Every structure is written in C-alpha cells, then in structure tokens.
Amino acid sequence: MQDYLISLLIFTPLLATIIGLVIPARAENSFRWLALAASLIQVLILIKALQVYSFSGGLQLVERQNWITLNLGDWGLLKAEYFVGADGMSLPLVILSVVTILIAVISSWTISNNVKGYFTLLLILNAAVIGTFTALDFLLFYLFFEFMLLPMFFLIAIWGGPRREYASIKFFLYTLLGSILILIVMIGLYVSNRNPLSTEIVVHSFDLISMTDPANFISNAILDPNNTWMIGPLDARYWAFLLLFIGFGIKLPMVPFHTWLPDAHVEAPTPVSVLLAALLLKIGGYGLLRIAYPIFPDAALHFSWVVGLAGVISIIYGALNALASKDLKRLIAYSSVSHMGFVLLGIASVTAEGIAGAVYQMISHGIITTMLFLIAGVLYDRTHDRMIANYSGLSSKMKSFTAVVLVAFFASMGLPAFSGFIAEVMVFLGAFKSNSVNGLLHESMAIVATLGLILSAAYYLWTLQRMFFGPFHLKGGIQESQITDLNTREYGMLIPLVILTILLGIFPQVLMNYIDPFAQYFTKLVLQVGKELTFNP
C-alpha cells in the first residue's frame, strides 16, 4: 500500500522553504510564522500517521518509488529508490523530531539577525532530520544525512557565540569524517548486494532492508557474509562494522570522538543546541540500530563488548567532565555524552530490554535535553552569562523557573516518575541479563555504568546547590534587574516538555507499544542471523 504521509512530513518544510525564498527579507515576521506553520502542519500530518499506524510492528507507512536506475553494462543495474517508511523505532523518533522542531521554532522567535536565512536553514534542517529517520534506502539516507551538515554548520557559524567559527568548522569536519567512513561502507555494500527479485540481471540496490538478509549478497563479493575476505587481521565485514560504528559514534557522540560536541553546543544559539542535542545525536544511535547491527550482525556480536565498553566509558567520562564544567551549557553538553552512553550500552546488550531501553533513552534524552538547553537559554537571554559560579540563590527570584529546573534535573538524573528512569532501568536490565542470555556483555559493565547515575546525581545536585539555593547574589557584572521569572513564551515551551517527561515516566506503555515489537524483532534478527553467520562462515 502506498502512503504519502511520510513524504508529506518531509516535503512540507521544503515547500515552506521555497515559499520563503520569494518573500522579501524585510518581512521578518512572515518567516517566523512560516516556519511555525510548517511545524504545525507537520503535527497534524503526524497525528494522522499515528492513527494509521498499528502497533503490530513491522514497517508501515511505506512508500517506494524508483529514483535512479543506471545500466552499468557487465556490472548489472544500479538501483536507488525513494524508499521511506517507519517502524517501532523510527516512528517515536519522528514524533520527537516534530515536537522538538516545533519548540525550537518557538524558541527561535527572538532571533533578530538575518531572519530569512535563519529560518530557511531551519526548515531545510527540519526536512533532512525527518528524512534521515525514515529513509530505508542507503543512498537516500546518506543524502539526508549529509544534507543536515551544511544548514547546521551555518546555523552555528552565523548565529553562534564568540567562538562560533572554531566550533562550527570542528563540527563539520568531525561529522564529515564520520560520514565518509559510512560512505566507504555504503559503496562496499551496494556493490556486494543484489536484489533477489531479478534473476537474469544483477541489480545492485541500496535497499537497507534487503541488505539484512545474507542471501542477498553476491557470492564472493567482499562483504558477502558467506565468504571470508581478510583485510589485514580482520574480516572485511568486521572492518565495515567498525567503520560504521565509528562513523555513527562520532555523531552519537561516543568518547573519544565526542570533542566536537561541547564546543558546538556551547557556541550554538539555544534553538540550534536543542536540535543538535535532541535530534542530531539520535541519528548516531538510529544508524547503529538501522544499519550497522542488522546488516553486520556477525560483526556486531563479535564486537559487542567494544560497543558496550565505549558506552560505559562515555557514561563515566561524560559525567566526570560534567562535574568539572564551569559553564552551564558545557555541563549539559557533557551530560549528553554521558546519557548517550546508555544508548550504546543498551544496543550492545542485544536483549529486548536493552534495545527497547536504548530507543526509550533516545526519546527521553531528546525531551529532557531540550528542556535543559532551553533552561540554559532562559538564563543566557537575560544575563548573557552562563558561568555557574556567577549565580547563587536564584530560587528566591525565579520561583517557577527553579521548579522547571528541578523537574529537568531530576528527570535527567533518572529519578523514578520521569522518563529517564524507565529508559535507564531497561538498559541496566538488558546489560545485566546479557551475560546469561546471550553472553555478550559481562555484568561488570552494567555495574560500572551505575556509577554514572551516582555521578549525574552529584553534578546536578551540586549545580542546584550552587546556582539556585543559598543566599541570593550575583557576580560577573550581572544586574539584579536582569533576573526575572519565566515569560509566557517560555512557559509555553517548557510546560509541555515537563508534562511529556512525567507522562513517559509514569505511563511508559504509551511509547513501549511502538518500541517493544521492534525490540523483539530486532533482537531475534541480530542474534539469529549473527550466530548463523558466525558458526558457518
């Protein structure tokens, strides 16, 4: 069945971009309303899509069109498709994207410098993010994936803070490096892959779903699972997995490839930080779940301890850095590194709980980190100062703001009744269970990772104590008159997020209905195929 809902989601912002291009740059407000309108339309389309989607799992809302068909002579046919769809992992991420982008647009209302350019880039980014989460053709995925880089680069570089130039270039180079690693694997995969439906002529397709079936590889091709092709000490498929792992790991970000993140986050304007943390990081986790694991299950099982270890190191190292941060935004950025580590740990366990936890953590972190960056933005808008040490006793002047901060910090810490709790508990369940169920991760990894929880409690509580409690005083030339409580627009952004994180903390079933079938299916696929390939090479 052909469905057009996902295409509508992707192309609505692009259409708005085109409309925006003909509006003269002087009409600044029209761009704000245009972006908002695009986001609101997307919400409506999404509601319709959710009605159509059934919880039974599997790919739905699928749309398939031929895109590029190239005759390559003796080589056969190259075939790329416009192939989009959603399953239990991508749909929650699409929901997250639509919501976060809506909030980011509202948060961008105060941008006053080159409004036309800003909102044009934001709209392009919007389309690219949703495209990345729904593309099921590798070339299409790669197109959207790269398409995000340029708008993001300019958004940081033009509207960012004092060190924006350094931060934006660093962001671009790191991410491009990651995407080149992914590109190498993409080339290898499509050359090695053939469409099973056509028998007489070899069709090299980019179809991500058909690549998960080992039978669809050309025998004796480099990445053919039934054939060992050694490059140095490792099988070519192992190398390919490692390339993908690093490529998506840079995006995630995973220690030691995370150093672009604190810079980019600190320098980016608030709405861009929100998008970066809430959505772009998730593409790393999404890529592992959509591409690296299902296509290279044998390598994934072989390297699961590496993935798990990278997760644990990210959790601890990110938390330690957050503890040492003097800048509020930097603290939040490092807490992101720490929390995305849980995603890695959950994925590495390849248990239904772990995978579901990882996806849940992506959504939960998306919501919570949006809140956190908005909080930092609220403070920065008023005082243009983010140094933790310059504030004390804010709770006496900003009562409602402090309440929101409490919710956000507690949610991020993983306290029960907030979404972070559910996600982290499931990841731990998976990580502990892994050794007895499939023997991939040792329990010690989960035990060490729990330290991350304690550390996160430490840095959040310490920050609360330093900034919000105690006697009220300010340093660094901040005037008392600048400290005012939340305004209506800020309430409008933060309150829905507070409700969401509590809702997902108390009724996880709302999201689990989507995620659970995916987690079951994914675990079965990776374990079964992976073991088959490992034992009969």
Partner 1 sequence: MENGLATPLNAIRESIPFFIPELILSAGILLIIISGLIRKNNLVITFIAFSIFVSLILLLTFTWNDAAKPVTLFGGMIRHDSYANYFKLLFDTAALLTVFMTWRNKKQEHLSEYYALLSSVVLGAHLLVMSVNLIMVFISLELVSISSYLLTGFSFSKKSAEGSLKYFLFGSVASAIMLYGFSILYGLTGTLDFSSAEFFKGLLTIQSPLFLISGLMALAGFIYKIAAAPMHPWSPDVYEAAPMPVVAFFSVVPKLSGVAILTRFIPAIDIQGKSGYDWQLIVVIIALLSLTIGNFSALWQKNPKRMMAYSSIAQSGFLLVGVAAFSGEGIHFMLFYAAVYLLMNFVVFLYLQVFEFNGVTTIAAFEGAGKNFPWPMVFMLVALISLTGLPPTSGFTAKLFVFSALWESYSVSGKPLLLVLLVFGLLNTVVSLFYYLRIPYYAFIKSGQSPLKTNNLTFENFLGLILVLAVLYLFFNPELLMGWINKITFVR
Interface with partner 1 (CB under 8 A): 67-75, 142-143, 146-147, 149-150, 153-154, 157-158, 164-165, 168-169, 172-173, 176-177, 180, 183-184, 187-188, 190-192, 220-222, 229, 231
* Least distance to partner 1, CB of residue 38, Å: 20
> DSSP assignment, residue 396?
G
Least distance CB 340 / partner 1 (angstroms):
23
End-to-end CA separation in angstroms for the chain: 37
Question: In this complex, which beta carbon is closest to partner 1, that of residue 53 or of residue 82?
Answer: 82
- State the minimum distance, in angstroms, from the CB of residue 251 to partner 1: 15
Q: What is the Cα–Cα distance from 149 to 172, expressed in whole angstroms?
A: 7
Q: How near is the Cβ of 151 to partner 1 at its closest, in Å?
A: 12
The secondary structure of 174-191, three-state, reads HHHHHHHHHHHHHHHHHH
Chain-centroid distance of CA 201 in Å reads 38
Q: Which is nearer to partner 1, 156 or 467 (CB)?
A: 156
Return the number of the residue (149 or 415) whose C-beta is nearest partner 1: 149
How far is residue 28's CA from residue 19's CA, in Å, rounded to a whole number?
14
Question: Is the CB of 27 or the CB of 231 nearer to partner 1?
Answer: 231
User: Of the two residues 175 and 390, which places its CB atom closer to partner 1 in the complex?
Assistant: 175
Shortest distance, CB of residue 154 to partner 1, whole angstroms?
Answer: 7
Which lies closer to partner 1 via its Cβ, residue 80 or residue 356?
80
Token representation of residue 283: 């593409």
Q: Where are the alpha helices (DSSP H) in 252-290?
A: 260-267, 270-275, 281-287
Which long-range contacts does 50-55 make (Cβ < 8 Å, 24+ apart)? 50/91, 50/95, 52/3, 52/5, 53/86, 53/91, 53/514, 55/513, 55/514, 55/517
Nearer CB in complex with partner 1: 73/471 = 73
Handedness of CA 14, 20, 25, 30 (dihedral sign): negative
Q: Are strands 391-392 and 473-474 parallel, antiparallel or unpaired?
A: antiparallel
Q: Minimum distance from CB of 116 to partner 1 (Å)?
A: 10
Neighbours of 220 (CB within 10 A): 10
- What lies within 8 Å, CB to CB, of 46 at 6+ separation is 9, 94, 95, 98
CB of 183 to partner 1, least distance (A): 6
CA angle 54, 97, 493 (to 5 degrees): 115
Q: In the complex with partner 1, which residue's Cβ is closer, 47 or 231?
A: 231
Task: Give me 101's structure tokens.
Answer: 């982008």
Q: State the Cα–Cα distance between residues 152 and 281, nearest whole angstrom.
A: 13
Question: Of 312, 427, 267, which Cα lies nearest the Cα of 362?
Answer: 427
- How many residues make up the chain in this entry? 537
Least distance from C-beta 354 to partner 1, angstroms?
A: 32
- Pick 117 or 214: Cβ nearer partner 1: 117
Burial 399-429 (b: 16+ CB within 10 A, else e): eebbebbebbbbbbbbbeebbbbbbbbbbbb
- State which residue, 175 or 338, has the beta carbon closest to partner 1: 175
Vertex 156 angle, CA 151 and 157, to 5°: 95
Report the candidate in 186, 241, 322 with the shortest Cα–Cα distance to residue 249.
241
Least Cβ distance, residue 198 to partner 1 (angstroms): 18
Which helix (H) or strand (E) element contains residue 22?
helix 5-22
The C-alpha atoms of residue 495 and residue 504 are separated, in whole angstroms, by: 14
Q: Which is nearer to partner 1, 76 or 414 (CB)?
A: 76
The residue type found at 92 is P
Cβ 53 vs Cβ 152: under 8 Å = no
Nearer to partner 1, 33 or 75 (CB): 75
CB of 31 to partner 1, least distance (A): 16
Residue 158 CB, shortest distance to partner 1, in Å, is: 6
